[in-house]
Structure 1
Amino acid sequence: MLKFNLSQLQKKAYHEIVINWKILTFGIICPLLIFSILAWQVCQADKGFSWDIFILLKIHDTAQPFLDKTAKNITKLGNFEGIMGLLMPIILLLIYQKRRRYLAYLIITILGNTILNIMTKMLFHRVRPYLWESLYYRPQDFSFPSGHAMGSMTLVIALLMLTWGTQWRFLVAIFGSLFVLLIAWTRLYLGVHFPSDILGGWILAIPWTIGMSLLFNLRQLKSNQDVKPSK
């Protein structure tokens, strides 16, 4: 019986790999390779690349009181509390619709993202940039990868996973992209992250969020829901 179960498990695993090989390749393996290359370079240039400094200074040249206030307010949406606040209506909707697996996927992916980000920052312990004096409170944790960039990207990809195949995916893609870029701009404008921190957060969020969707088997779940009974 044990051999039979093991054989069945191996066949199922092989079947899943064959079906999801494109997702595994381009959604998990490739992003992880790119992140590994970037992380290795970050270790060699922990004080920032030349293009990091160039971009930060160019953005700082646009500084003005109105943008200062705007960036400080918007950037709050990218931290854990802000993201959970944005998610609350969706969480309540999923509870009402009794979509437990979607709900578990969303909550565990967001919570796990925060833990993964903290652990990754501790691993690379990159010091945040300090190129100009600022009245904005500078976080005391490490810089790479950006938690705001990673959290916002995780949020958007997770919502895309949940709305894929529906008319809502276009709105999620459009407004989600704007949200991700806006959060990234606030972190650079406030001078608390290098651009490479932002890039690292974005890239790491991709395999994490997509990997969790495979773990929860959202593709099969959505396929089963899309099956219509024959007349």
Structure 2
Amino acid sequence: MEKVKKANKEIQSPLSFLKNLLIARWRSLLLLLIGVYLPLQVFEILTVKIWENKAGFPWDVPILLAVHSTANPQLDVLAVTLARIGEPWTAIPILGAIALILLLQKRWRSLAYLLTVSVGSVIINRTAKELMHRVRPQLWQSIAPESSFAFPSGHAMASITVVAILLFLTWDSSRRWLVLILGSLYIIAIGWCRLYLGVHFPSDVLAGWMVALGWTIGVSLIIKPYRTKAKSVDGEPPDDETTLLPEERELITKE
């Protein structure tokens, strides 16, 4: 009896509740800090500095020239190929095929994540480019010139968006490590090709990475695409992606 009273007191204590809540949700809070807040904070700093000075940062040009100093015919072919593969529009048929598979498998939560992240990434990129109006580097004649605005890099954003979608879709399997490793190399390679071709400043690529990272992780915390199965309780069948999570049902009921 005394143990029950003690437990009730602990439950009623605001300090105890806060402690238990932080212990239970520390992973989500850490992910929110590192995966959402910090990337968006870096993006904000880059945006403000470039808005004040269109020339960019002191390290933009030296890095571009250093990358350009390695130019040779073999790397030219590689950079142009990567640029075509990483083209935002190239991702459409790939994501479309994945979306069709998710639709046939009735994985509504994963499909919602794919559509939300993809469409949102395009909107963010186009809006930022039109607002910033940053022109592309003019340091040398590029072998694959671009005519649109530079900030943030669409290729950089698209690469992270595609990798994030694949990563969360494979979250419950051992393949996620393969996706993470190969995806990281792909993201770096796409960023390198934009610098090598001289069509983006390093700050454009960094900004694209940061805003896409914050967006994809932020949406994942809301939609939870990795929650493909919920644990069975009291013998009830587990929920699949055609059903809402308990907390989502509660929110709809309240509204």
TM-score (norm 2): 0.75
Equivalenced residue count is: 212
Match of 2:109 in 1: 101
| Mapped pair 1:71 → 2:59 | no
Task: Give the alignment partner of residue 168 of structure 2, picking from 155, 161, 167.
Answer: 161
Could you tell me how far 1:201 is from its partner in structure 2? 0.5
Q: How many Å separate the matches in 2 of 1:117 and 1:23?
A: 23
Supply the distance in 2 between the matched residues of 1:214 and 1:121 (Cα, whole angstroms): 26
> d(CA) in 1 for partners of 2:82 and 2:131?
28
Q: Is the 8 A contact 1:38 1:200 kept in 2?
A: yes
Of 58-67 and 173-182, the range deviating more from structure 2: 58-67
1:99 Cα offset (Å): 0.9
| CA–CA distance in structure 1, aligned partners of residues 137 and 178 of structure 2 | 35
Name the counterpart of 2:142: 134
Q: Identify which of 145, 150, 162 aligns with 1:143.
A: 150
Q: CA deviation at 1:212?
A: 1.5
Deviation at 1:229, TM superposition (A): 9.3
For the pair 1:201 / 2:208, whether they are aligned, the reply is yes
Which residue, out of 228, 231, 247, partners 1:222? 228
Tell me the SS of whatever aligns to 1:153: helix
Deviation by residue 1:174-196 (Cα, 9 ceiling, x = unmatched): 11011101111111111000011
**1:213 is matched by which residue type in structure 2?**
S
Q: Distance in 2 between matches of 1:61 and 1:229?
A: 66
Q: Which residue of 1 aligns with 2:197?
A: 190
Question: Distance between the aligned counterparts of 1:160 and 1:142, measured in 2?
Answer: 29
Equivalent position of 1:50 in the other structure: 58
Distance 2:159 2:232 in 1: 32
Q: Which residue of structure 1 aligns with residue 217 of structure 2?
A: 210
Q: Which residue type is aligned with residue 183 of structure 2?
A: G
Structure 1 residue 61: Cα displacement? 1.1
TM-score, normalising length: structure 1? 0.82
- Could you say if the C-alpha distance between residues 137 and 59 of structure 1 is closer, same or farther in structure 2, counting changes exceeding 3 Å? same
CA positional deviation for 1:89: 4.5
Q: CA deviation at 1:88?
A: 4.4
- State the AA in 2 paired with 1:78: G
Q: Is the helix fraction higher in 1 or 2?
A: 1
Question: 1:197-216: CA deviations, max 9, x gaps?
Answer: 11000010112111221232
Rg (Cα) greater in structure: 2
Query: Which residue is equivalent to 2:31?
Result: 23
Structure 2 partner of 1:34: 42
Structure 1 stretches lacking a partner, 5+ long: 1-14
Asked if 1:60 is matched to 2:59, the reply is: no
C-alpha separation in 2, matches of 1:166 and 1:229: 26
Q: Contact 2:49/2:56 (CA < 8 Å) preserved in 1?
A: no
Say if 1:47 and 1:129, in contact at 8 Å, map to a contact too.
no
Once the two structures are superposed, residues 12-62 of structure 1 have per-residue CA deviations (whole angstroms, 9 ceiling, x without a partner) of xxx8xx843333222222222221112112223312322111111111111
Q: 2:99 aligns with which of 82, 91, 96?
A: 91
Range 191-200 or range 80-89, more displaced: 80-89
Offset at residue 142 of structure 1 (A): 1.3
Q: Is the 8 A contact 1:47 1:127 kept in 2?
A: no
Residues 132-177 of structure 1 show CA distances to partners (whole Å, capped at 9, x for unaligned) of 02332322x2111111001101221222222223211101101101
